[in-house]
Each structure stands twice: as C-alpha cells, then as structure tokens.
Structure 1
Amino acid sequence: MVAERKTHPYLSLMNSYLIDSPQPSSISYWYNLGSLLGLCLVIQICSGLFLAMHYCSDITLAFDSVEHIMRDVNYGWLIRYLHATGASFFFVCIYLHIGKAIYYGSYRKPRTLVWVIGVIILIATMATGFLGYCLVYGQMSHWGATVITNLFSAIPWVGNDIVQFIWGGFSVSNPTIHRFFAFHFVLPFILAALVVLHFLALHTHGSSNPLGITGNIDRIAFHPYFSFKDLITVFFLVLIICLFVFFSPNTLGHPNNYIPGNPMVTPASIVPEWYFLPFYAILRSIPNKLGGVVGMFSALLILLFLPLLDRSLYRGLAFKPLSKFFFWLFVFNFILLGNIGHLHVEVPFINLGIYCTIAYFSYFLIIVPTISTLENILFYLGRSNK
C-alpha cells in the first residue's frame, strides 16, 4: 500500500502534499491557520450552495426569501446562520494568518509568490463578503451597497458611468442585486482556485518556521504529526462556530439588517460588517472623496510591497525586539481603526481616525524600512565588536 501511494500517478500527488510532505519540526500552532481557512472555505461553499437553492435575487423578494429560508425551510436557519457566522470566522482566520505571516516574515524570498497570491485571496474574499452582505437586502445592506459602489464616482471622468454600470440604472435596484448574486456565487470558486495556486506555490519551498532560519536541517513528514495537530485546532474552531450558531447567532451582525431595505429612510449611521471596519475608518478619515478611496484600496495593496520594504537580513521578528515592539503597536492600531469604523463621524473620533490612518501607512512606508535597516547596522556592529 505504501509503495502504491508513492508510485500511483494520482495517489503520489496526494501523498506528496498531505502525507510525506517534509515540514520544519519547529512550526507552531499559528501555522494551523491555513487548514482552518480551508475548512471555512468549504463551509462557506457548501452552505452557500444550499442557500442559493432557496434565495431569490429579485429586489422585491430578496429579504423575504431570506426570511423564508430562516422560517420555512427545514434547518434553513442553521444553514443561514452557519453561512453568516462562517464568513466572520473566515475573516478572523485570514487576518490572523496575515498577521502571522508578517510576524514570521513568511512574505520574504523565496516565498514572495505565496504572499502575493495570499493578498489577492484577501481582496477577493473581501469582495465576496461585501456582495454576500448586500444580498440580504436589509436596511444596512441597501445603504452599504449604495455607499460603497458610489465610491467609484470619485474616479475622474468615468466614475459616474462606472457606478451606473454597476447599478444597472440610476440607483441600487433589481439589476444590482441580480449582478451581485451572480458574482457572489462565482467568486468562491475563483477563491478555491486561488487557494490551490497558493498551496502549489507554498509546496515549492515548504513552510517557513518561527525561528526565521532554514528549516531544511530538521524536517518531518506532514502525516501523522502535523495532520493530527491541525485536527486539534479544527475541532476547537468547529466548537466555537457551533457556540455562536446555536447560542448567539446575531452577535456579529447589525440589528438594522433585520429591517427590509428602504431607499427612502437613511439610517443614523451606515456601518459595514465588522471585518471591513478598519478600511472603512481609513476611507472616512481622509476628507477628500477620491483621496479616501485611494487610501482605502492602498491600505490593501500596500501589503504587496512588503517584501520590498523589509530590508532585514533575517526573516521574522523572533529575535528582533525593536521590530516586535512596533509590530504589536501596528496590531493595536489596526484594532483601534476597526473600533473607530463603527463610531459616529464626530470629534474626537475624526482626529483619532486620521492619526491611526497615518500610523497604519507609516508602519509600512517608514517604520519597517527604517527599523530593518537599523537592526542590520546593529547586527554588523555586534559582529565587529566580537
């Protein structure tokens, strides 16, 4: 059986990825986030397929069809809550996964391609989450769709035409929901293809390790050690998701989204889902509309340039106290941006949002290049003193 799995044309491929794949023995539980993200994607695709069987993308029926799923379809409430809660945990895991990659320097050569594909997955995931949130067509969904799509009007000359093309008219209406549903249905499968590419790129050089040094000296097979290690965190994630689904399914949602969308009534405060709040805060913190749009998208795209901005000689922050200190300040600033994103646009939150936005971009453009260069100098001085 062992010989067959290593020589069979299909089994050998699976064997090389899931059984005999050599991994550094020092990798920690933070590296389990990849398998948790894979589980979340499977949950979202499977639950989404069942929801699509009963959902109606007509704007006059969209909200009622969701209520029909919740009240009339057998276990429809379970599937809908699993899909909504699964989306939140998808973003929890993806933010932690990106934070782990920044901390351990997983974006550096020779894994730059893995990092770039991962950032593309993040952007595609955010687009999928936004489209899905709009499909509920509650009060917050309608106004969230109106505000976010209207951002494209800031583009000079062609902005208004792009907005009308997205809407399929002069406001968020029936063609808009049809288009959002079509793209929301297709994007998860594109995400699955990107995940496969991400996995293939990772397999080329293998995982990095927390120490920031080569892991080729001490590697062990993925199965059974790491496969069992992944199952432990999978069990805990499923347990936490079940706790939210069965006992507190509305914790991560907005109460206004349980009111049918009404274009004639504007909510007191338009707030997107929690996982968009840090970038929404950046958008609101820049007074100029075009500047806010550029700032929001730049906050995502700047991640692509992190391999170029980090000039350190060594991978990861395990033995760099100065970089570690600023990394945790960055994490705190990101959480603070998320908190500012759901608050009213008023003093002192306006000024605080501006300071946090400056701090966010300063981390990538100033702190990372400067601190990494300084640490290189200190390293050379330390060696010369010896």
Structure 2
Amino acid sequence: MFETLEAAKPDKILALIGMLREDARENKVDLGVGVYKDDTGQTPVMRALRQAEERLLMEQNSKSYLGLAGDTGFNHAMTTLAFGEGFDVSRIRTVQAPGGSGALRILAELLKRAKPDATIWISDPTWPNHVPMMQAARLTIKTYPYFDAETGTVSFEAMVAALETAAPGDIVLLHGCCHNPTGANLNGAQWERIAQLLATRNLFPFIDIAYQGFGDGLEEDAAGLRTVAAHVPEMVVAASCSKNFAVYRDRVGAAMLMARNEKEATIAAGQLMGVARGSYSMPPDHGAAAVRIVLEDAALTADWKSELESMRTRMLDLRVGLADALRLKSNSDHFDFVARHRGMFSRLGLTPEQVARLRTEHAIYMVDDSRINVAGLPGDRLDEVAAAIVSVL
C-alpha cells in the first residue's frame, strides 16, 4: 500500500524549530514559531485559565460526550465575544470546533455542500493553512492582493480592484484583525468599503478571527467583523482561542454562521454538525469548558482581560522599540511600519538569502519570507537585533 506514496514536502516552520533546537549559541533569538512569549521566553498559562481549570477539575463529574455542537455555553460566549452584546443572534448558530483551523475546515466543507461550484478568494499573502484547507474542501481558489512589501501597508486599492472582478456568490476569506502573516490591518474606513463591496456585489464573507484582543483591544479588533455583519445577509466566521486565551495545545475554536433567517440558520447548523460528524465527530471539551468558565464569571473575565491587555501592550512596546532601533541603526524610516502593524507578526521585507544570513551569522531565526513573531523579540536586546538586520541588507 504505502509504496505508492511520495515523501511529503518538509514543513518549513518545523524544520526551523529543529535548526533552532540544535543551535548551541546562547544568544539565539526565535522569531519564527507563532506562539505568544513573555519576557522570559515562555508561553504562559493565563491566570484566569488556571483558576478555571482548577474549578473544572473540582466540579466536573462526567467525561461523557456533550454532542456535536460541543459546549453550548462556550458557543454562546464566543458568539457574543465576536458579534458584540447588542447584536441580534437569532440568525446565528455556533458549533465548537477543534481550534480555529478546525472551524475553518468544517466551514469550508459546509460552503462546498451549499454551493458545489463555489470559488473562494484568498489574500496574497495569507496564513499557510488557508490554501491547503480550502483545497481539501475542493473549493476553487482565486487570490486577491493584500500586502505591499515595499511600504509595509495594505495594498487596498489593488485588493478592491481584484474583488470587484469576483462573481456574485463567490466567497471572500478575510482576516478579522492582526492580519497574518503581515501585521498590516484594514482601518475602519477600509472595512466599511469592503463591507459595502461585499453587499453590493453579493459576495459571501468568510472571516477568520484568530487574534481578537492582540491588536487594538477586544472590542476594537472585532469592529471589522461587526461592520461586515451589519451590511450582509449571511456570512461565516472561524474564531480561535489559541492566542487570546493561550490554549494552543487544547485546540479551542468556534465555527459560526449567520444566515438570512432563523430557519436557514438552523438547517445550515444541522449540516455543519453533519460535516463535523464525518470528520472528527465530537470536539475536545477541556479547553472550551475552561474558556466558558472564564467568560461566564465576571471576576475571571476581568482578570483575563487585564492579562490580555498586558500582552497586547507588551507587543506594542516591542514594536515601537524595534522600529526605533532599526531607524537608528539604518539611518532610515524604512522599517517604521513595524510600529504601525498590529498583532504578533510583521513581515520585514527581507530576501530568503538575507534571512539565511541572519540565522547563520547572528543566530536570529525567522521564516524565509521574513515574517517575525514580535512576541519573541528580546526586549533588552533590540539594538542588537536591529544591528543584525541592518547588517544583512
């Protein structure tokens, strides 16, 4: 059987992890792996989550299945987090999924069921899991430009021009905030224009919101999603708790759909759960239950928001610090966009050869497209990192 298989292409990020692990230099800097890190280089368990897990261990009296939709309390809390307190949720249905990626996958399958000849537009660049997931769901893929590497900004007019060529009924995959892997976000006016374009051209929004709270704040980061929801009759949303609750390995996500009416929402949710049944069956419970406990407890919610805000502001401080150091070392404002970007990532605009030199000559690790994890920056060595970057230009 297996003799027919060819070797899989090596995963570049996993290969980078291996090289980093084998590097014996004490000054090595990991800017590649996409997880939040604190000042000590660790990915912490958030205080509120730890308390919630302790409560869960004491109070949970069964490990029986909860059903295909998962934890309904979690689903309700996540819907509110994404759409806001005052939004009419009668047309929204939410299914717990194994991480944001799991939500992306089952929503893609649902859209394929709903529209077998569906075309989905994906930004260029995008996160590495988007294309293979949409291909696995057998959706036809087209791309729209998103990022101007020269200026470090959104190529907004080119983005709009491309989407204006999309056919009615086409799906458009958008990042809700902290656009991966570039760090360049749409502003409020741009979100409004995109929402109007989606509505007038009858395009179907598919929003991936994996970093809510990492950009400008919990409410601010959901503004784009909510703007779109106010303009269109139907849409889907894939939400992740990996980053803002730091439950990476527990795989906590939510797949949300907004339909034109309650009847269609209920039918679509039934089909979505059918997709889940044919994929992983039941979602994992522990992480979602802990998140639910946090979001249903006012004190825990307040503590979670406080710690999340400290994580967000720390990344902003690192951005400003690196941009200032790069300006000083390069005698140029070329890298000022790093301070304007939001979230965990920025793309520096270096060549693969320059990235390789940073790795071999300075023990600074990043992926080949020069995407860096800002949270991995050593706050007390920003001048050193900036000098190394400038040295390979």
Give the structure-1-normalised TM-score.
0.28
Query: Structure 1 or 2: larger strand share?
Result: 2
Larger Rg: 1
Higher helix share: 1
TM-score normalized with structure 2 length: 0.28
